Chains A and B, each alone.
Chain A
Amino acid sequence: MIMIAYYVITAFLLVLLAWNFVREKGPRAEAVLYLLVMLPLLLRLLRWK
């Protein structure tokens, strides 16, 4: 049950980050940082790691 909640949170954060990444108008470095933060969340959501 808690596990499902955590997956929902992960997915939510991932969407949030992806949205911010698309909308980001500042320096390119910031956009890359969004991507890096997304990495572990993406791996967990895919259930690869």
Chain B
Amino acid sequence: MEVSEARMKKTVLAKAVPAAALLGLVLWGGLPLLRHRHFDIPVVKGPGVTAVLRLSEFSPGLKGTSGDTNVYVLQGRDPGGKALIMGDTHANEPEGMLAAVIFIENAIVEKGTLYVIPFFNNSASRNTRPGDGYPLYFDVATDWGRRRFRFGNRDASPLDQWPDPDVYIHYPDRQLLSYIDVRNTNRTWPGRVDGPLMERVTFGAMELMRREKIDVAVDIHGAETMFPVTNCIVAPDSSVKIATLASLTVKAMEGFENHVEMSPSGFRGLSHREIGDHGPSLPFLLEAPIPFLDQPTGPKTTRFLLDGKDPFLLSLSKKKKLFVPYGEDGWPLEKRVGQHTSVTLEIFRQFSKKTAARPIAVRGVPRYAEVVKSGVGRFLADPAKAAPGGVVMN
């Protein structure tokens, strides 16, 4: 009797120890993910912001979900055309989000109205990719200290939309897409009011464009240096003229390359395809090279995310395996963000030239050379110094 009691004690202990270790592992690994998911990013309402809406006002199915996100409205002094800027469609391509935040915190709209959605796929921006060793946050150095942002993933969190189907059947064209694209807000356009959460997100943006009669929609991304569709503006037939003129102009005036890619009509669900096919807006999808996303690189550190320098890509570049020039300088964040602000402003300028009745005139937003020279942080406001009520959490 005594012997079996001792043995039982031993068995309980043998199970309690690994069980405790498991719990420890869950806490150690899980809590940072939990904190990241609930970490909010402050955005300062710049001098041009006149209202902050929620996307759920255009897509009721988003209310109370993490698919809902802020829409910053910058109504100009004079009437004119309307433009929509979206960042974080893919939340692991932060140059789009930063360009959008720069617009919100700096732009003064003289003619027309801007709508800016900096965290378009809010759920994805609260997701991560542990298998690739993604950092959870990154800091941008500013004149007043560091400003911290969430680093997200390409796809929405499965906590918000789960499970994935075996195959994603695109709505409304019924094209068969990869299962994972059901959580990718650049495959779920134009969306539907009662579809999966990510379709409700894109539906919200479509409704916004239809109701507000948006003229120009700019969806800002980053793409691998080993992917041919990088460093470019993707445009369908309707917007290719403006895109080409913008591309030629930035090359001549600002000295950086940004070619135009035609939006294929047979590939559904992409913003540059569906926005124009299902609404009044001219779509433009902007890509800047982000070496961090390439596969054959060193560790995915925040430093690499910011400076875009990698020895493996450098050697591949010498073997002519990359689609963009790549040197010792890498592709730093300043270049990527600066390219995006410049191209966006240039698209507005070209649109205004073509459509004199609906001009969009914006000042206060830095162009490429200024961002490259002064860094991204120079154009980020200090939330601690903002006027009361001047900070919005995202």
- In the complex they form, whether A and B have CB atoms below 8 Å apart is answered with yes
B22-71, CB < 8 A from A: 22, 25-26, 29-31, 33-34, 37
Interface residues of A (CB under 8 A from B): 2-3, 6, 21-22, 24-25, 28, 31-32, 35-36, 38-39, 42-44, 46-49
B residues neighboring A (CB under 8 Å): 11, 14-15, 18-19, 21-22, 25-26, 29-31, 33-34, 37, 130, 158-159, 161-163
Whether B163 pairs with A39 at a CB distance below 8 angstroms is: no
Check B162 against A39 for contact (C-beta < 8 Å). no
Docked-complex contact A28 and B14, CB < 8 angstroms: yes
Give complex CA distance A46, B14 in Å: 26
Query: A6-B162, A48-B33 are contacts. A21–B26 as well, Cβ < 8 Å?
Result: no
Judged by DSSP, the binding face of B is helix
**Are A3 and B163 touching (Cβ within 8 A)?**
yes
The answer on a CB contact under 8 Å between A39 and B25 is: yes
* B18 close to A31 (CB less than 8 A): yes
**B18 adjacent to A48 (CB under 8 Å):** no
| Chain B residues whose CB sits within 8 angstroms of the CB of A25 once the complex forms | 11
The answer, among A24, A31, A49, for a CB contact under 8 Å with B30, is: A49
- Rounded to whole angstroms, the CA-CA distance of A23 and B30 in the bound complex is 27
From A36, which residue of chain B is reached at the shortest CB distance? Answer: B22
B246 to chain A, nearest CB (A): 41
Chain B residues lying within 8 Å of A3, measured Cβ to Cβ, are: 161-163
The reply to whether A43 and B26 form a contact with Cβ atoms under 8 Å apart is yes
* B163 vs chain A, min Cβ distance (A): 5
Q: Which residues of B contact A2 (CB under 8 A)?
A: 163
CA distance A43 to B26 in the complex (A): 7
